[in-house]
Structure 1
């Protein structure tokens, strides 16, 4: 009987400890980070946003499935004197070479979004290199500039992808504000979602062929500019060296107290 009583006490104590740890994970990010470090100390993370005191954000457009609104997007960006970043898939580059040149001519970043838009975490290193090089070469041939920003299709990544992309000369870029424009929920939901969630150093995700983009893009730009944000290309907002990326994907300046 004594053994049964002790066993019950142990179970109760274990439940209490587990509850405390769970609450700590939910309430205290620092503790959560320590646990994550213990579980997966070598996990690599792309750049989701940038740690900066300046009111700067970057907006980006993934281009894979069409070209209907791209000219209009460029005209809107010109109207508000904004430079942005376009991530292009290889087969999109093949279909719209003149638009690739036009994006470059207007002074926007052009990033690599793979060649065939696969889930790249499932590819071998050799396949990843092929995906990156094929599109990178196509963009370079059309613009005379080799891209160095890369966004994984579907936001899907693993250590192998990030390491291989870095070896190929790319910064792997995600986003911390998803407009969800592909859901076609209308204009106001996108405007509200983006303007409510941006902060200094945010990277916003749009798609060049989103149904209502020509309607919501000017409203978002005007509201963000009214709030004092400067909208810049990703190439301008990210740090090129002397940085590290924390567990949330925030890129931070490397100093003597931090280790990459």
Structure 2
């Protein structure tokens, strides 16, 4: 009996000693779990020596120089007019160092990246129309101009929802005034809403005052009906002159056209539209369509063709921004 009691006491003391010795790492692990950093502590953390810290920072800095991607400045192209810039990518040395400071020595460095804005941005180019995004950005936008008809809007919205794609709808003001409910449904689905003039005129044939009012009336309606703060103006039929660009700019809008046209108003078969997009789409493409039978039937195939080429789909604002596409945000 005494022997069993002695063994029990000895085991209890050993357990207490082990618990005391493990308390430091255990506490650190529990704290890391609460912070979501448990992966860093695959084994008990240790504090590197000054020499080890210097070596770690030097290794990070050396790799950072190799991994840097320079930003691309916005520019004016002779054919495509204003081309947006594209953010670069570089290693955040300090954040990477802090992340890896207590990691096991055998763990590969997990780099933390940050974007670097170009020196020249789209806003720096002045009053120049836009036809496409930066070719380094693997993103494409669907531009859906709406001036008449609602018949095919529901099916197109359903396809966009099924494919998890957000498009940019450009509303003619006179259509918006008569179809506020349809416009609100489009907006409720998360799509971007922009300006397509008021009565679908040829903008180049208007005087300055008339051109200004075509944009201003629709802009006011976008605000009062949908509470939209807009950035873009798409001239009807792609018809414009420099005065059009100027009066849009005076109202805080950039004039945007398209890279690829479905020409759906000619009622081509859906397969022909899909073939055209598959053959010609590239990073930065802005694709024009309308709520027509042809485009509604082709839309799913178009989206799959675009995704099949490794391209993302975003709004016009997404595609023309200098922000890096999320597919490459993790770095090289």
Aligned position for 1:232:
314
What runs of 5+ residues in structure 1 fail to find an aligned partner? 1-31, 35-43, 241-260
* Alpha-carbon separation, structure 1, partners of 2:176 and 2:169: 11
How far the C-alpha of 1:62 sits from its partner, in A, is: 0.6
How far the C-alpha of 1:146 sits from its partner, in A, is: 2.7
Please list, as runs of the form range in 1=range in 2, the aligned pairs for 1:152-167 lying within 5 A after superposition. Answer: 152-167=235-250
Aligned residue for 2:175, secondary structure, equals: helix
RMSD in angstroms over aligned alpha carbons? 2.1
Which of 121, 132, 146 does residue 204 from structure 2 map onto? Answer: 121
Aligned residue for 1:110, secondary structure, equals: strand
Aligned position for 2:153:
70
Please list, as runs of the form range in 1=range in 2, the aligned pairs for 1:1-260 lying within 5 A after superposition. Answer: 45-208=128-291, 210-239=292-321
TM-score, structure 1 normalization: 0.73
User: How many aligned positions are there?
Assistant: 201
How far the C-alpha of 1:214 sits from its partner, in A, is: 2.4
Ranked by relative contact order (alpha carbons within 8 Å, sequence separation 6 or more), the top structure is 1
Structure whose alpha-carbon radius of gyration is higher: 2
**Runs ≥4 residues deviating over 4 A:** none
Residues 57-91 of structure 1 deviation map (CA, whole Å, 9 limit, x = unaligned): 10110101211011111111111111000011011
How far the C-alpha of 1:33 sits from its partner, in A, is: 5.1
* Alpha-carbon separation, structure 2, partners of 1:212 and 1:237: 25
* Alpha-carbon separation, structure 2, partners of 1:232 and 1:93: 23
Distance 1:33 1:171, change over 3 A: closer
How far the C-alpha of 1:215 sits from its partner, in A, is: 1.6
How far the C-alpha of 1:189 sits from its partner, in A, is: 1.0
TM-score, structure 2 normalization: 0.58
